[in-house]
Amino acid sequence: MAGPVIVIEHLSRNFGPLKAVSDVSLKVDAGEIYALIGPNGAGKTTLVKMLVGLLAPASGHAAIAGHDIMADPLGAKKEFGYLPDNPAAYDFLTGSEFLHLTGALNGLPAPDITRRVHQLSAVFPISQILAQRMGSYSRGNRQKVAFLASLMASHRALIIDEPVVGLDPSSITIFGDNLTQFAQGGGAVLLVTHTLSFAQKYATHVGVMHQGRIVTEKAVAGGDLEQLYLDQTSEK
């Protein structure tokens, strides 16, 4: 199972004259949790959107479990779960219906879907909320259900943009533990976050992005993320 699951090679993208992402490469191996940090507007979301196929890169490649996102999008999309920052949902569906829908769209057999929804309902203490329309959800609960949806099918990668803003403290712990569990099961996690304490606690690797580039990458163990962040992103 070892070897890189998420591979980004020389990815670039500009919006008009603005170089939002320029020549970024990174790898996330199975079992790793890679935290991408960096100031607002650094290009983190743009990078992630290219990785999941929501934006076309100007140049470069990205692949998940060996499937190039542009050449073989279907193969790639079978291999990752994705969670954007502040995910909007289908307001007219209940949370439970949303999870079932995700199972069906991933082509899972009915008994598997039922079993999986049952398992996931216990991850956060929200089984009551799952019976309500998502239009009435609080931001945090919407995030939790969207996270559960990204776990519906068995993926090899999780790609998450700003997961913990808006979650209550105990939910953050549950969230982090689930990421660790996912990685220990042989998955790769790429997460973008501003919450350095979260990255410090759960990530195995960290990359700092600044003005469209990754300026440094290292293993998390032992280092002080806050100092690293400030060193790498201060304007000199």
Partner 1 sequence: MKTAAILRATDFREIKSWFAVQTGSKLAVLAGFILVIAGLEVGLFSGMGYYFRTLAAAQDFGYHTADYIIRATFLVVMWLGIGSSAAATANLFFTKNKNLAYLLTLPVDISDLVRWQTQKTITFNTFLLAVLLAPLLLAFRLTFVGYFDLVFILRAVLGLFGLALVATALGGSIGFLLVAETGRSTLTRSLLHVGVFLGIMVLIFRLVFPPALASLTRATPSAFYPLYQSLPLARSWVPTNWLAGLITVGTPVDWLLSAALVIFLLKFYLWLECRLFLTTYWQVNSRPQEQLGFIFETSRLDFARQTPLRALMTKDLSAVIRSPGEIGYGVFLASLVVFFFGLFSRVSLPAGTPLSWIILLQVFAFLGLVFFTNTFLLRLAFPDMAKEGETAWYLFTQPLAPEKLWLSKVLLAQLLILPFLFVAATVWLFLSFTGRYYLLLAGCSLIMIIIITLLQAFLGLINPNFSESHSAEKISTSYMGLITLVITTTLALGVAAGLDQYLSGNAFGILTITGSVIIGLVLVGILGAVSRSGLRRYEF
Of the two residues 96 and 210, which places its CB atom closer to partner 1 in the complex?
A: 96
Largest CA distance in the chain: 58
Does 113 interact with partner 1 (rule: CB under 8 A)?
yes
Q: Reduced to 3 DSSP states, what percent helix, strand and coil does the chain have, rounded to the nearest 5? A: 35, 30, 35
Q: List all residues 6 or more positions away from 107 whose beta carbon is below 8 Å from its beta carbon.
A: none
Q: Give me the least distance between CB of 230 and partner 1, in Å please.
A: 31
Binding partner of residue 46 among ligand ATP, partner 1, Mg ion, none, CB cut-off 5 to 8 Å per kind:
ligand ATP
Cβ pair 83, 70 in contact under 8 A: no
DSSP string, 67-92: EETTTSHHHHHTSEEEE-SS----TT
Cβ pair 134, 145 in contact under 8 A: yes
Assign 14 to helix, strand or coil. Answer: strand
The length of the chain is 236
Give the one residue of 44, 116, 142, 205 binding ligand ATP; rule: CB under 6 A. 44
Residue of 106, 24, 42 lying closest to 235 (CA atoms) = 42
- State the binding string over 7-46 for Mg ion (x if CB under 5 A, else -): --------------------------------------x-
Binding partner of residue 100 among partner 1, ligand ATP, Mg ion, none, CB cut-off 5 to 8 Å per kind:
partner 1
Does 15 interact with ligand ATP (rule: CB under 6 A)?
yes
Give the one residue of 26, 28, 34, 46 binding ligand ATP; rule: CB under 6 A. 46
Residue nearest to ligand ATP (CB): 45
Does 80 interact with partner 1 (rule: CB under 8 A)?
yes
Report the interface residues with Mg ion, using CB under 5 A.
45
Report the interface residues with ligand ATP, using CB under 6 A.
15, 18, 20, 38, 40-46
